């Protein structure tokens, strides 16, 4: 669960200022290990003093998700429907393919959506995908390169 909490925090731009504050206060600390607890305490203090900068979303991020995840076969994120490969296997139309741009301009990663996990926060839900990525440079040899 710690990895999930860190992943969500690390990919939430609304907490960048708090990450910068943590780094300036504790320059030699392990951000991944120590920041989530520090952030929880920081936002908890803002919440108890009714600080207006403590938004419901920040408070939800600080509290973390429920302790169990829900595995789902499909979901809609930002208007796009995602479906796991195992649900698509016997269907004539399929929607389990994923592509993501690489930092190098014009290149893409391609893969199949293997699993969708839903984590419930107090104000929102976060969907995390497990993807079987393919190495297209191998020309015909599909190789899983990351999860």
Q: What per-residue confidence (pLDDT) applies to 80?
A: 87
77 in the same domain as 53: no
Q: Is residue 48 part of a domain?
A: yes
Q: Is residue 143 part of a domain?
A: no
132 in the same domain as 91: yes
* Domain termination site, one of 63, 84, 113: 63
Average pLDDT along the chain, 147 residues, taken 10 residues at a time: 92 95 94 96 96 95 94 91 85 78 78 94 93 72 44
Q: Is residue 38 part of a domain?
A: yes
CA dist 76 and 83 (Å) reads 9
- A 10 A CB-CB count for 2 gives 10
* Domain termination site, one of 44, 63, 82: 63
Query: Smallest Cα–Cα separation from 82: which of 63, 67, 97, 68?
Result: 97
Q: Give the total number of structural domains in the chain.
A: 2
Whether residue 8 contacts residue 57, with contact meaning beta carbons closer than 8 Å, is answered with no
80 in the same domain as 48: no
Q: What per-residue confidence (pLDDT) applies to 63?
A: 95
Name the residue range of residue 112's domain.
70-138
């Amino acid at each position: 669960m710690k990895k999930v909490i860190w992943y969500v925090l690390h990919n939430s731009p609304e907490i960048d200022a708090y990450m910068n504050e943590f780094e300036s206060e504790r320059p030699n600390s392990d951000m991944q290990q120590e920041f989530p607890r520090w952030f929880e305490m920081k936002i908890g203090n803002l919440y108890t003093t009714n600080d207006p900068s403590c938004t419901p979303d920040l408070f939800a991020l600080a509290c973390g998700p429920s302790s169990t995840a829900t595995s789902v076969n499909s979901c809609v994120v930002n208007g796009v429907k995602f479906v796991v490969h195992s649900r698509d296997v016997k269907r004539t139309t399929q929607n389990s393919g994923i592509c993501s741009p690489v930092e190098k301009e014009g290149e893409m990663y391609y893969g199949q959506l293997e699993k969708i996990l839903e984590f419930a926060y107090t104000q929102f839900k976060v969907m995390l995908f497990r993807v079987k990525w393919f190495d297209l440079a191998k020309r015909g040899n599909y190789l899983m390169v990351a999860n």
